[in-house]
Structure formats: structure tokens, C-alpha cells
Amino acid sequence: MPASSAPRTLLLCSCFLTLLFHSTAASPRGLRFSAEDIDAAALPASNRASTSRSSSKAKSTFFEVSRPIHPPRGSRGPCSTLLLSHSFASTFNKPPITAAYSPPACLPAAGAGDVSFAVLEWTAECHGVQYGRTYGVWLGGVELLRGSTAEPRPGGVTWSVHKDVTKYSSLLSAGNSTLTVYLGNLIDDNYNGVYDANLTLHLYFRGSAAAAAAAADRSPSTAAQAPADLILPVSRSLPVDDGLWFVVQNTTDIESAPVAVPANAYRAVLEVCVSSHGFDEAWYMNTPAENGPFREVTVLLDGDVVGAVWPFPVIYTDGINPLIWRPITGIGSFNMPTYDIELTPFLGKLLDGKAHEVGFAVTNAQRFWYVNANLHLWLDPKSSVTTGGLVSYDAPKLAGSIVGHSKDGFDGEYRASASRNISATGWVMSSTHGYVTTSFTQRLVFANTNVVSHKGDAQDINQTIDARTEVAGAYYAQRVHQSFPLYIFQGADGSGSNQRLTRRVEIGFVETREGPAKTSTLRNMQKAEAELVMRADKEAGASWRMHQVYSYGASNGACYVRNVTSVGYDVLFDHYDASCGGASRR
Ligand SMILES: *[C@@H]1O[C@H](CO)[C@@H](O)[C@H](O)[C@H]1NC(C)=O
Ligand SMILES: *[C@@H]1O[C@H](CO)[C@@H](O)[C@H](O)[C@H]1NC(C)=O
Ligand SMILES: *[C@@H]1O[C@H](CO)[C@@H](O)[C@H](O)[C@H]1NC(C)=O
Ligand SMILES: *[C@@H]1O[C@H](CO)[C@@H](O)[C@H](O)[C@H]1NC(C)=O
Ligand SMILES: *[C@@H]1O[C@H](CO)[C@@H](O)[C@H](O)[C@H]1NC(C)=O
Ligand SMILES: *[C@@H]1O[C@H](CO)[C@@H](O)[C@H](O)[C@H]1NC(C)=O
């Protein structure tokens, strides 16, 4: 461990910011800027740009750049159902909002197998002053969506998320259930923003020719690529005064739930949902005294580590400098990514008819992480019992280190690195697939450098996460390579009554997926900068800009490229191309 003075460095930074921007009990880190602070600072900037389309009195639309989603050609629909409409006022630490769910009337007639595409739409707005908050949506305890809210401007803000939820088709059609939405909001004299939200389900169905073809095609590979037959929650049950996620508090805390798998399962995939909060909200910036910058969520089956999630560092709407994320929000912030762990090699153990404990821990955690999961199961239609066995399993301890050097106790360089390998192979015997061996392999590498300079006033953080996950099996082989580069600069120049606070962020979500049916590549990169000028301890001006390039291409010809730049609240440049004119296909 490095010099014990590292914590003092961070404390100084925090105090400095806390003096300039008051914090509340709702912001344990003391580093959060509120909407009020930000609008005070942003006002001079908007006034200068009087031709700006986005006057502070008009309602703003904030958005996350992602590719548009479409139903397959020839689909019928949509059949749209409003699932819930609610105003989230003082909801923090209160029971979540629930609504009875019945499969939409258009669904039973067609049946789950005829759903070609399902979209969950979250549309919300907020007026007044409010922090960004985290919310989650669950159906029967299965998480469908998690996001952070947009912080409002005086004229109000609106945003929406369209998430492809086709893979939850069996759950959507399974029968009556409970829809749960938690959005922990606080209202007081200063923070009066209420979040009004609507949740709508849009269903599309196969055209008759496609439905007939699907019914005729009972091939094992088609079955393996279809949505799961059953999805079980690994989350908390109602009643709770919070979301249904488990709250992981520290590095030794293991949160778990028992799960019983039907006797005829032949494939199992655990979809893990994670988000970081409180003292770990910006875990990638943490000093050695704050357990360093490395975090991983481990998945335990009856106490054994069977998979690990090295999360993408989602920066919420209040992160680093909230202006940066207006109007283009951080990657994953409105629609957080989830992570799949293949449990098929362990089916031999799970198929014994007994309940098994599925647990989650967060290495190096500080208070607190929200973690839960959905277990996707494929069931053998032709037999009531499948069998399986584990062939090999190897999950050596995490390798890693934190090294730091500081000459004066303020400035210095801290390096953290970690790596982990997990592999498991197992067989399953089913009538659908016969005898199939499946291997699951993870190769994970992490590196973080934090250079502190100018007597603790400047920090340069470079982080890379490189995660390779491979499933090798006859019908559902998949190779996923994710790489998450992150660069953050925070600095303060000037002295006394004149200060300039600079923030720079470069972040990327880069992913290649190679499956039996298609290969796809996504490169989603953001580069942003914000500057706040302070005179005599008052915000005298603010400026910020964002440049994002989103580029997706798949072997089935699908393609989407978008190149967008915003300065202040204005989108200056927004080009997208869904045909790609051959340019994106090299
Ligand atoms: C929610 O739906 C209702 C009814 O259609 C509509 O009046 C309201 O404006 C919607 N709210 C949002 C935030 O979209
Ligand atoms: C499901 O809920 C609907 C609407 O409340 C109700 O009419 C129906 O009887 C319920 N079905 C079952 C099987 O409980
Ligand atoms: C870690 O968190 C758990 C669950 O809240 C708690 O019981 C335990 O005392 C904590 N351990 C430490 C060392 O703080
Ligand atoms: C993980 O596996 C790779 C490839 O086999 C190996 O080079 C690396 O040293 C392993 N790392 C750890 C931490 O075991
Ligand atoms: C950190 O990242 C920036 C931007 O990519 C790069 O210019 C710089 O050289 C990196 N610094 C280190 C120490 O790796
Ligand atoms: C995005 O657009 C800008 C402005 O035309 C251009 O300079 C830049 O090269 C484009 N970037 C990409 C990756 O297409």
C-alpha cells in the first residue's frame, strides 16, 4: 500500500469542492453538484448564447446515443399497453410502486412463441430542481430495466428509453404477475423535482408466413437461440422499502437467494444487473484508502465463484460535472448494461431438484452496490428430466496489486492492476440436443493509473478493462470481447478569488460478439470537456462540449453509425447513417 497520506489528498479535493458547492445528506460523497448549482453556473453561458435554441425556460430533451431498434421485417404490431404511470415524489427508502400485470389481451391469442419483438418504453419528465436518481423495473422479481434519471433544468426535462425486451417473452406471457418500479427520490425545500414516468410495453408478432416457418423449424440450434422458456428472479422479494436489488455494503458482504431449477433444463444463463452508488459511485477514482479503484462483482453458486462481472464504469447524470451529460447522457446511464454468466456447465449440480444458493459479492466494495440477476432457463420440451455433470472447473484467486508513490504526501502516482481467469466445462444430456458439452471461460484484465499533481488539485485517471468471455458449446457458442477505456482529468487553476475548474472525460464501450448466427462489433466513444469559472466564490460561467461516435456493424448487414457533437445545451452536429454506404464495412 502506498503512503498513508493518499487519503488526505482526496479529502482536500473533496473539501475544496464542498466549499464551492453545498452538498446534502443525499450525497454522501460530497462531490455531487446539484441541478441548482449547475443551473446557476450554466446561466451566464446560456445568456451569452442568446441565439441558442435551448433557452432555460423551455423543456429540454436529453438522450443517450444508441442504435434504433426495429421489429423483424414482416412483423405485425405494435400492440401497446401502458403498464404504469406514476409521479415519484418522496419515494426514497419507501416501498416500491407496484402494479398488477396481466399479459396484454393481444398476447395470449398469439402466444409467446409468436412474439417477434418486444420493447419496453420508459418516458419520464421532471420540473424544478432535483438530483439524478437511480431506478429499476422488475416483472415478477425479474429486472427488465435499470437507469439513472436526467437532472431537470428550470424549464423541465424529458427523456425516454426504448429497451429491447424480446428475450423476456416467456415472462411477459407467463400469466398474472406484479410489476415493480423503484425510483428513490427525495423532496425538500430545495429539491422539489418530481419524476413523472410512464412505462409502456410494445409487442410485435410474427407475420403468418414467419410464424408457420418458426413452428416448422424445431431444429436444436433455433431452439437454443430463441428466448429462454423460463426466467427466474435472483432478487429480493416484496415487501421491501427499496428496490428488489440486493444492497452489497462492503467487500465481505455476500447477498444471496435460493434458486430451484426445473428438472428438464438444458441451458442456464445468469444475467447480472449491477450499479455502483454512494462511496463507490465513482469507484474508478477511488484512492488506496478507499479500497483503490478496482471493483468486480463475483457470482457465487453454493459459495463457489462461477463467474465475474467487471462492470462498465457507467457515469450517471450527476457524475464528474453534471453539465457534461447535458443533453447527451453518459454511455449506459439511461439504460444500464447487464452481463451474462453461462451456468450451463453447472447444470449437473443444479438439476438435483434442490434449491441452490446464488450469491453476489463485490470485491473491495464500499457502501454500496445494487446487484441482482435473472436466471434464463431453456427447458427440454420432449422430456421431464435432463441430466448433467461437471467435467472441470478452475477459478484461481484474483491476481492484483495497488502500488503508489508520493514524495510530499499530496502528489503522486497510484497504479492498480488485476486479472482473473475462470473456466468451467460440463455436459448436459437432453432429448432436444442429445449429449452436449459446454465450456465457459473468462479472461479479465484491469489496469488503472491515477496521477495526482498540483498539491492534490489535479488528477489524471486512465483505466482499461478488457474482458473476454467465451461459451463453447454445440448450439450456442459465443465469444464476447469487451473493452472499456476510461480517461478522466480533473483540475483547478488559478488562486484566491479566480478559479477555473476543468473536467475532461473520454470513455468507450467497445464490444465484439461472435455467435453461431452472427458477428457484431460496437464501438461507442464519448469525449467531453467542461469548464467552470469561479470569481469571488461565485460561478461566473460554464462551458462544456461532448463529442460522441457510435458505430455498429453486424454480419447480417445491420449497421448504424452516428456522429454527434454538442456544445452547451445545443446539438451542433448530428449525422447518422443506417445504411453505412459500405463505409463502415471493411
Ligand atoms: C403519461 O401518459 C399520460 C396519459 O397518456 C400523459 O398524459 C402524460 O403526459 C404521460 N407522461 C409522460 C411523462 O410521458
Ligand atoms: C389475471 O388478472 C386478470 C385481471 O385482473 C383477471 O381478470 C384474471 O382472472 C387473472 N387470471 C388469473 C389466472 O388469475
Ligand atoms: C459488511 O456488511 C454486512 C452487511 O451489511 C455487515 O453485516 C457487516 O458487519 C459488514 N462488515 C464490515 C466489516 O463492515
Ligand atoms: C489467465 O490465463 C491466461 C491465458 O491462459 C494467462 O496468460 C494468464 O496468466 C492467466 N492469468 C491469471 C491471473 O491466472
Ligand atoms: C492516459 O490517457 C490519455 C488519453 O488517452 C493519454 O494521452 C495518456 O498518455 C494516458 N496516460 C497514461 C499515464 O497512460
Ligand atoms: C464526425 O463528424 C465530424 C464533422 O464532420 C468529422 O470531422 C469527423 O471526422 C467525424 N467522425 C467520424 C468518426 O466519422
Beta bridge partners, 489, equal 460, 504
Residue in this structure with the C-alpha cell 444487473, named with its chain if needed: 273
Check residue 58 and give its pLDDT: 79
Using alpha carbons, select from 270, 105, 72 the residue that is nearest to residue 172.
105
Whether 549 has a pLDDT exceeding 70, the answer reads yes
Whether 448 has a pLDDT exceeding 90, the answer reads yes
C-alpha cell at 483: 473493452
DSSP structure string for 52-108: -S--TTSPEE-B-------PPTT-EEEEEEEEEEEEESS-TTSPPEEEEE---THHH
Ligand 3 midpoint to CA 246 (Å): 14
Ligand 1 midpoint to CA 123 (Å): 8
Phi, psi of 213 (to 5 degrees): -65, -40
- The Cα–Cα gap between 71 and 229 comes to 20
* pLDDT tens digits, 194-216: 999 999 999 999 887 777 777 67
Q: Where residue 391 falls among pLDDT bands split at 50, 70, 90?
A: very high
Fill in the DSSP letter of residue 354.
Answer: S
Using alpha carbons, select from 492, 500, 486, 499 the residue that is nearest to residue 456.
492
Mean pLDDT computed over 330-351: 98
Of the bound ligands, which one is closest to the alpha carbon of residue 561?
A: 6
Of the bound ligands, which one is closest to the alpha carbon of residue 59?
A: 1
Check residue 7 and give its pLDDT: 31
Q: Where residue 8 falls among pLDDT bands split at 50, 70, 90?
A: very low
Nearest atom within ligand 1 for CA of residue 197: 13
Give start and end residues of each alpha helix (H) in 121-218: 169-173, 208-216
Least confident of 50-59, 208-217, 323-332: 50-59
- CB within 8 Å of 113: residues ≥ 6 apart: 169, 214, 215, 226
Whether 36 has a pLDDT exceeding 80, the answer reads no
Least confident of 199-213, 350-364, 572-586: 572-586
- Check pocket membership of 563 for ligand 6, CB cut-off 6 A: yes
The residue whose CA is least distant from atom 8 of ligand 6 is 563
* pLDDT tens digits, 286-299: 988 899 999 999 99
Residue 454: which region, alpha, beta or left (left: phi > 0; alpha: psi -120 to 50)?
left
- The Cα–Cα gap between 477 and 23 comes to 49
Mean pLDDT computed over 48-59: 54
Check residue 45 and give its pLDDT: 44
Number of Cβ within 10 Å of residue 402's Cβ equals 20
Of the bound ligands, which one is closest to the alpha carbon of residue 365?
A: 3
Nearest atom within ligand 4 for CA of residue 443: 1
Using alpha carbons, select from 350, 308, 348 the residue that is nearest to residue 438.
348
Nearest atom within ligand 5 for CA of residue 487: 2
Q: Where residue 20 falls among pLDDT bands split at 50, 70, 90?
A: very low
- The Cα–Cα gap between 171 and 148 comes to 24
Check residue 405 and give its pLDDT: 82
Give the DSSP H/E element, type plus range, for residue 41.
helix 35-48
Q: Where residue 218 falls among pLDDT bands split at 50, 70, 90?
A: low
* pLDDT tens digits, 229-268: 999 999 999 999 999 999 999 999 999 999 999 999 999 9
Ligand 4 midpoint to CA 426 (Å): 21
Q: Where residue 506 falls among pLDDT bands split at 50, 70, 90?
A: very high
The residue whose CA is least distant from atom 5 of ligand 5 is 487
DSSP structure string for 225-262: HSPPSEEEEESPPSS-SS-SSEEE-STT--EEEEE---
Q: Where residue 534 falls among pLDDT bands split at 50, 70, 90?
A: confident
Check residue 6 and give its pLDDT: 32
Whether 539 has a pLDDT exceeding 50, the answer reads yes
Using alpha carbons, select from 2, 20, 3, 377 the residue that is nearest to residue 171.
377
Q: Where residue 581 falls among pLDDT bands split at 50, 70, 90?
A: low
Quick one: CA dihedral 246, 247, 251, 255, positive or negative? negative
* pLDDT tens digits, 469-484: 999 987 789 999 999 9
The fraction of the chain above a pLDDT of 70, given in percent, is 87
Check residue 403 and give its pLDDT: 85
Ligand 6: residue of 563, 564, 576 to mutate (most ligand atoms within 8 A of CB) is 563
Find out if CATH 3.20.180.10 is the number for domain 55-217.
no
Of the bound ligands, which one is closest to the alpha carbon of residue 159?
A: 1
* pLDDT tens digits, 127-176: 999 999 999 999 999 999 999 999 998 889 999 999 999 999 999 999 99
Using alpha carbons, select from 238, 106, 123, 119 the residue that is nearest to residue 177.
238
- Check pocket membership of 423 for ligand 4, CB cut-off 6 A: no
